[in-house]
Amino acid sequence: MGRSLSKIALALSLAIGIGVSLTAAENPGLPRTIAWSAYPTGTGGYSQAVAIGSIMRREYGVNLRVIPGRNDVSRLATLLTGRVHFSAGGSEAVYAQEAVLNFSSAIWGPQPLRALLSNFSDSCSFTLATAADADINQVADIRGKRVTWVQGSPSLNNALTALLAYGNLTWDDVERVEVGGYNASIEAVINNRADVVGGACNSPPFLRLEASPRGLKFLTFPHSDLEAVQRTRSLLPWYVTHIATEGPTLPPEGIEVFTSAYPLLVGMDSADDTLVYALVKVMHEQYDDYKDAAPGAGGWLITRQKFESAFIPYHPAAIRYFKEIGVWTDAAETNQQANLFRQKVLHDAWQAYGAIAPKDPQEFEAGWLAARAKALADEGLLTLAENI
């Protein structure tokens, strides 16, 4: 009897060992826990991260911790300090790379960020929504209206600045209503403290505005007005014209808007090669399992990546995977090298400026922005100075 039990125990041990081995073989290199920062709970970016995490847990036993950040600085600060592996955000990654706006202080400097994947969905990354009762039918009608300004979120506020420019408007032409976060900005419109708010077309909080007594209306940005389009794109060159069909109140044929990558999944240049490669591989291969699980998740499709027009360089491990599946082009590589060169110019300018920088925070930032603009201009690179 004892020998029989021993044989059974040995067989079970071998079976368990084989099972563990097979599970490990199926996992392409993901650790037990991965952490992302993302926009606050309830937003499209957060919902997508949760949906992707559900697939990782089911297929690989990997826990994806999604840490919401109420503003740009909080989302990227967790990445910089190593509290998260990656950040799924928006244009704040560009501003951190450029060391402008909230990232121009001495504690930041140009960040060597690397992209993994971009989401270009049937929705839009950022547009203008109004209360239906605010009597706003086109961008020019926003003059004199109450517009939300999210504290600590230059990516949102800068995008709103660029969209106002479509209608030849600036913040001097509107009443600025300061709010503490993205969700708070939509609540301000619901509660009649504001009339206009910016956000992704399919952002879940817009459902609350649609259901409120004030109602929801998205503004259109006709692409035929080339001068207006240029005014917006001169301020945000990584924004492109787009037809959005996904979002509350949008008609089947969609509306003309602008869009950019949202979420844009980024890490530091020091991100682990094995982890980056495995994550990109899993998000590509498991796409069909999460594409319909959250609003806008279909935008992670590999053929929707815009490698040739990206403004942030990609991580080399991600590029290795893109080459293996045949989607990395010569044009993508040319753009990659240009983006790497831009980061080098910014890094060198920061190092040179640090040797002579004043101690006063305001003087430091003003001096850095001037040094940065000169360094970029000397190399014939876009300075973005007009929108800082």
* pLDDT tens digits for range 42-58: 888 999 999 999 999 99
Confidence grade of residue 293 (pLDDT, cut at 50, 70, 90)? very high
Chain region(s) in the chain for CATH 3.40.190.10: 31-120+264-387, 127-259
Residue 268 has pLDDT above 60, yes or no: yes
Cα 236 to Cα 216: distance, rounded to the nearest angstrom: 26
Which CA distances in Å does 172 have to 90, 168, 265? Answer: 25, 11, 34
Question: Quick one: pLDDT at residue 156?
Answer: 87
Residue 194 has pLDDT above 70, yes or no: yes
Q: What are the two backbone dihedrals, phi and then psi, of residue 265, each rounded to the nearest 5 degrees? A: -90, 115
Which CA distances in Å does 28 have to 279, 285, 315? Answer: 8, 11, 17
Question: Quick one: pLDDT at residue 19?
Answer: 35
Question: Quick one: pLDDT at residue 284?
Answer: 98
Confidence grade of residue 387 (pLDDT, cut at 50, 70, 90)? low
3-state DSSP: the chain helix, strand, coil percent, rounded to 5? Answer: 50, 15, 35
Question: Quick one: pLDDT at residue 163?
Answer: 98
Classify domain 31-120+264-387 by CATH number.
3.40.190.10
- What H or E segment, with its residue span, contains residue 194? none
What are 130's two structure tokens?
């109004």
List pLDDT tens digits, range 98-112: 999 889 999 999 999
CATH superfamily of 127-259: Periplasmic binding protein-like II (3.40.190.10)
What burial class does residue 245 get, using C-beta atoms within 10 Å of its C-beta: 0-12 exposed, 13-18 middle, 19+ buried?
Answer: middle
Confidence grade of residue 23 (pLDDT, cut at 50, 70, 90)? very low
Residue 7 has pLDDT above 50, yes or no: no
- Residue 23 or residue 73, greater confidence: 73
Nearest to 98 by CA among 355, 369, 351, 354: 369
| Mean pLDDT value across residues 74-91 | 95
Q: Residues 170, 143: contact at Cβ < 8 Å?
A: no
Other Cβ atoms closer than 10 A to 134: 19
Question: Quick one: pLDDT at residue 28?
Answer: 82
Q: What percent of the chain has pLDDT over 90?
A: 84
List pLDDT tens digits, range 329-377: 999 999 999 999 999 999 999 999 999 999 999 999 999 999 999 999 9
Q: Residues 230, 223: contact at Cβ < 8 Å?
A: no
Residue 388 has pLDDT above 80, yes or no: no
Sign of CA dihedral 87, 93, 98, 103: negative
Which residues in the chain belong to E strands, given as ranges?
Answer: 33-38, 63-68, 86-89, 113-118, 127-131, 146-150, 175-179, 196-199, 216-218, 240-244, 255-259, 264-268
List pLDDT tens digits, range 152-189: 887 789 899 999 999 999 999 999 999 999 999 999 99
Instruction: Look over the chain and give the mean of its residue pLDDT values, rounded to a whole number.
Output: 91
Q: Is 272 helix (H, G, I), strand (E, B) or coil?
A: coil
Residue 206 has pLDDT above 80, yes or no: yes
**Tokens 């495995």 label which residue?**
278
Nearest to 248 by CA among 68, 44, 52: 44
- Residue 283 or residue 385, greater confidence: 283
Q: Is 36 helix (H, G, I), strand (E, B) or coil?
A: strand
